[in-house]
Chain A
Amino acid sequence: MSSGIAITGMGIISALGIGLDKTYTSLLEGHCPIASPKYLKTVHTNLPCGEVEFSDSQLLELIEENKEKVIPRSALLGIVAARGAEEDARLKEGTKVALISGTTVGGMDITERYLKHYLEGPEHSNQIFLHLDGVCNDLIAGSLKSRVVFTDVISTACSAAANAIAFGAELIESGRYDVIIAGGTESLTKYHFNGFNSLMILDDAPCRPFDASRKGLNLGEGAGFIVLESVEHAKKRGAKIRALLSGWGNACDAFHQTASSSDGRGALLAMTKALKMAGLTAGDIDYVNAHGTGTQNNDLSEGTALMTLFGEKMPYVGSTKCFTGHATSAAAALEAIISLLVIEKRFIPANLRFETKDPELTFSPVTETVTDVDVKHIISNSFGFGGNDTSLIFSKYCQ
Chain B
Amino acid sequence: MKRGKAYIISAAAISAQEPFKGVNSFEALPMEGGRVLCKDPDFKQFIPPMEARRMSSILKRTLAVSKYVMENSPLKSPDAIISGTGNGCVGDTESFLLKMIDEGESMLNPSKFICSTPNTCASQIAIALGCNGFNSTHVNDIFSMEGALTDSMMRFEWGDASSILMVVADQMTDALYKMLSFIPKLSSIPLSEGATAFLLENKPSERAFAVIEDTVQLRGEVSEGLNNFLSSNNLTWNDIDLVMTSDFPNTERENFSFIPKEKERLTYKQWCGEYLSASAFGLFCCSDILKNSAAQKRILLAVRSGANYSFTLISNLCTN
Chain A: residues with CB nearer than 8 A to chain B? Answer: 42-44, 103-104, 111-112, 115-116, 118-119, 121-122, 125, 128, 131-135, 137-138, 148-157, 163, 167, 170-171, 173-176, 190-192, 194-195, 197-199, 250-258, 265-266, 269, 273, 384-388
Given A119-B178, A134-B144, A152-B140, residue A254 in contact with residue B126 (CB < 8 A)? yes
Q: Is the CB of B132 within 8 A of A156?
A: no
Contacts of A190 in B (CB 8 A): 100, 105
State in angstroms the CA–CA spacing of A125 and B140 once bound together.
Answer: 20
Contacts of A266 in B (CB 8 A): 132
Q: Is the CB of A257 within 8 A of B123?
A: yes
Count CB-based A-B contacts (< 8 Å).
195
State in angstroms the CA–CA spacing of A255 and B131 once bound together.
Answer: 10
Which of A111, A148, A386 is close to B122, meaning CB atoms less than 8 Å apart? Answer: A386
Among A121, A148, A387, the one with the most B-chain Cβ atoms within 10 Å of its Cβ is: A387
Given A152-B147, A266-B132, residue A195 in contact with residue B180 (CB < 8 A)? no
Which of B110, B133, B147, B158 is close to A198, meaning CB atoms less than 8 Å apart? Answer: B110
Q: Is the CB of A152 within 8 A of B150?
A: yes
Given A156-B136, A384-B119, A388-B136, residue A149 in contact with residue B124 (CB < 8 A)? no
Given A150-B217, A151-B217, A385-B119, residue A198 in contact with residue B108 (CB < 8 A)? yes
Q: Is the CB of A155 within 8 A of B139?
A: yes
Which of B98, B106, B142 is close to A115, meaning CB atoms less than 8 Å apart? Answer: B98
Q: Is the CB of B1 within 8 A of A174?
A: yes
Rounded to whole Å, the gap between the CB of B106 and the closest CB of chain A is: 7
Listed A/B pairs (24) with beta-carbon separation below 8 Å: A44-B105, A103-B139, A115-B97, A118-B179, A133-B141, A138-B141, A149-B217, A151-B140, A154-B147, A156-B119, A170-B157, A170-B158, A174-B3, A191-B96, A198-B113, A199-B114, A250-B134, A251-B132, A252-B81, A252-B131, A385-B117, A386-B123, A388-B122, A388-B135
Chain B: residues with CB nearer than 8 A to chain A? Answer: 1, 3, 81, 86-88, 93, 96-98, 100-101, 104-106, 108-110, 113-120, 122-124, 126-127, 130-144, 147, 150-151, 154, 157-158, 160, 175, 178-180, 182-183, 217-219, 276
State in angstroms the CA–CA spacing of A192 and B88 once bound together.
Answer: 15
Given A170-B158, A190-B100, A198-B109, residue A163 in contact with residue B136 (CB < 8 A)? yes
Q: Is the CB of A150 within 8 A of B124?
A: no
State in angstroms the CA–CA spacing of A131 and B139 once bound together.
Answer: 12
Q: Is the CB of A43 within 8 A of B105?
A: yes
Q: Is the CB of B139 within 8 A of A252?
A: no
Contacts of B178 in A (CB 8 A): 119
Contacts of B182 in A (CB 8 A): 118, 121-122, 125
Given A132-B87, A388-B136, residue A155 in contact with residue B142 (CB < 8 A)? no
Rounded to whole Å, the gap between the CB of B278 and the closest CB of chain A is: 14
Contacts of A167 in B (CB 8 A): 136, 151, 154
Residue of B nearest to A189 (CB): B97
State in angstroms the CA–CA spacing of A333 and B135 once bound together.
Answer: 19
Rounded to whole Å, the gap between the CB of A270 and the closest CB of chain B is: 10
Q: Is the CB of B115 within 8 A of A132?
A: no
State in angstroms the CA–CA spacing of A252 and B79 once bound together.
Answer: 11
Q: Is the CB of B124 within 8 A of A257?
A: yes
Given A252-B131, A384-B119, residue A134 in contact with residue B140 (CB < 8 A)? yes
The 8 closest A-B pairs by CB, nearest first: A386-B123, A134-B141, A195-B113, A252-B135, A122-B182, A198-B110, A155-B139, A134-B140
Q: Is the CB of B132 within 8 A of A155?
A: no
Contacts of A191 in B (CB 8 A): 93, 96-97, 100
Q: Is the CB of A112 within 8 A of B104?
A: no
Which of A116, A125, A134 is close to B86, meaning CB atoms less than 8 Å apart? Answer: A134
Given contacts A125-B182, A386-B122, A388-B136, 12 further A-B contacts (CB under 8 A): A128-B183, A132-B139, A133-B141, A151-B219, A152-B140, A167-B154, A195-B116, A254-B127, A254-B130, A257-B120, A257-B124, A388-B135
Q: Is the CB of B101 within 8 A of A137?
A: no
Q: Is the CB of B114 within 8 A of A116?
A: no
Rounded to whole Å, the gap between the CB of A29 and the closest CB of chain B is: 35
Rounded to whole Å, the gap between the CB of B218 and the closest CB of chain A is: 8
Q: Is the CB of A104 within 8 A of B127?
A: no
State in angstroms the CA–CA spacing of A27 and B120 once bound together.
Answer: 34
Q: Is the CB of B133 within 8 A of A133?
A: no
Rounded to whole Å, the gap between the CB of A121 and the closest CB of chain B is: 6
Q: Is the CB of B114 within 8 A of A269?
A: no
Contacts of B143 in A (CB 8 A): 134, 151-152
State in angstroms the CA–CA spacing of A343 and B100 once bound together.
Answer: 43
Contacts of B115 in A (CB 8 A): 257
State in angstroms the CA–CA spacing of A34 and B96 once bound together.
Answer: 27
Q: Is the CB of B140 within 8 A of A386?
A: no
Rounded to whole Å, the gap between the CB of A44 and the closest CB of chain B is: 6
State in angstroms the CA–CA spacing of A121 and B184 once bound together.
Answer: 12
Contacts of A388 in B (CB 8 A): 119, 122-123, 135-137
Residue of A nearest to B310 (CB): A150
Contacts of B141 in A (CB 8 A): 132-135, 138, 153
State in angstroms the CA–CA spacing of A252 and B217 once bound together.
Answer: 28
